[in-house]
Amino acid sequence: VFYTLMRGSSKGRDSMESPFKANVLEGKVALLTGGGSGIGFEISTQFGLHGASIAIMGRRKQVLDDAVQALRSQGIRAIGFEGDVRRREDAARVMESTVKHFGRLDILVNAAAGNFLVSAEDLSPNGFRTVMDIDSVGTFTMCHEALKYLKKGDRGKGPARGGLILNISATLHYTASWYQIHVSAAKAAVDSITRSLALEWGTDHDIRVNGIAPGPIEDTPGTRKLVPDEMPSKSREYMPLYKLGKKWDIAMAALYLASEAGNYVNGTTMIVDGGLWLSKPRH
Ligand code: HXC
């Protein structure tokens, strides 16, 4: 599906105000891997605009610096930490630095991902492993290192609750996607991690663990990489539900899951793709 997308857009949502109150995440501290670009950055922005303090982790210093500056210019408390989710020591250090800086950790968003288009025949086992390492093992590593901070029972008013984990996934693996065997396998593992942790940590620590599976989202590294400009397509004609989503759409789903509104949601991966993955040719 992804490989045959054309560019288009669902109109009117760019300028839309958030339907959530500006304080729904007041007092929360969120750490986002891949939070400096693409979908991760939009979630950073919206979480920040809704009251959260934001720590972003990424590999590229310049991207981090620019993102932190952009967040601060909107009045958001933000800090960036260099790190690679493939390195456990980076995960531990960034987690510790976040808590040192902001005093606590309430929300972990795993948005870092690796991707490239390649046929299974041409993909080396090391290429496969690299994406598994970033997406799947990286997600588990971050969750594992976050646990001791997220499970604390001193989270403000009301019954003591643990924190929240949000794993950014995909819909590629619901069927099969061309030239995405590595990412499909990696995201299938991410969804499985979401369910297992929701069970174990939901039960033991009152931590909610959910995912979001975005469809094609305009103006993201993923879509730029997977849908080259020159690619011709008649997708609209045979995908009845096809339209590109906006980063805002994913951030609003994240806000719902992270806010009190999502209190009873645990272990689910919310598909936010306009129904695209259901689409079949009309005839
Ligand atoms: C074939 C490739 C390749 C390519 C890397 N490899 N790029 N194989 N085609 N284009 C192979 C290499 O040959 C090597 O295997 C192995 O992968 C490791 O490559 P390195 O370059 O050493 O790895 P590294 O520098 O760590 O980079 C990993 C990376 C990452 C995965 C390429 O840099 C990356 O993709 N960054 C972009 C992040 C990104 O686009 N994020 C958005 C994700 S969007 P050998 O055998 O040669 O050693 C997303 C959406 C998914 O996830 C869902 C969409 C619907």
Is 18 part of any domain? no
Is 11 part of any domain? no
Is 16 part of any domain? no
**In the chain, which stretches have pLDDT less than 70?**
1-15, 152-160, 226-241, 283
Angle, alpha carbons 81-41-11 (nearest 5°)? 175
Please indicate whether residue 185, judged by its CB atom, sits closer than 6 Å to ligand 1. no
The structure's pTM equals 0.92
Please indicate whether residue 5, judged by its CB atom, sits closer than 6 Å to ligand 1. no
Q: Model ipTM?
A: 0.96
Q: Whose CA is nearest to atom 44 of ligand 1?
A: 222
Distance 179 CA to ligand 1 centre (A): 13
Confirm if 99 and 50 have CB atoms less than 8 A apart. Answer: no
Is 167 part of any domain? yes
Q: Residue count of the chain, please give it.
A: 283
Please indicate whether residue 124, judged by its CB atom, sits closer than 6 Å to ligand 1. yes
Which SS3 state, helix, strand or coil, does residue 59 take?
A: coil
pLDDT tens per residue, range 31-70: 999 999 999 999 999 999 999 999 999 999 999 999 999 9
pLDDT at 152: 66
Is 283 part of any domain? no
Nearest to 170 by CA among 224, 223, 128: 223
For the chain, how many structural domains are there in total?
1
Is 20 part of any domain? no
Please indicate whether residue 277, judged by its CB atom, sits closer than 6 Å to ligand 1. no
pLDDT at 4: 36
For ligand 1, pick from 1, 115, 223 the residue to mutate: most ligand atoms within 8 Å of CB: 115
Confirm if 236 and 242 have CB atoms less than 8 A apart. Answer: yes
Q: Whose CA is nearest to atom 13 of ligand 1?
A: 127
Is 22 part of any domain? no
Domain interval for residue 54? 2-6+28-277
Question: Reading across the β-sheet that carries 269-272, which strands appear in turn?
Answer: 78-82, 53-58, 29-33, 107-110, 164-168, 208-214, 269-272
Distance CA 281, CA 283 (A): 5
Distance 234 CA to ligand 1 centre (A): 28
CATH number for the domain harbouring residue 160 = 3.40.50.720
pLDDT at 233: 61
pLDDT at 7: 33
Distance CA 162, CA 200 (A): 13
pLDDT at 29: 98
Is 21 part of any domain? no
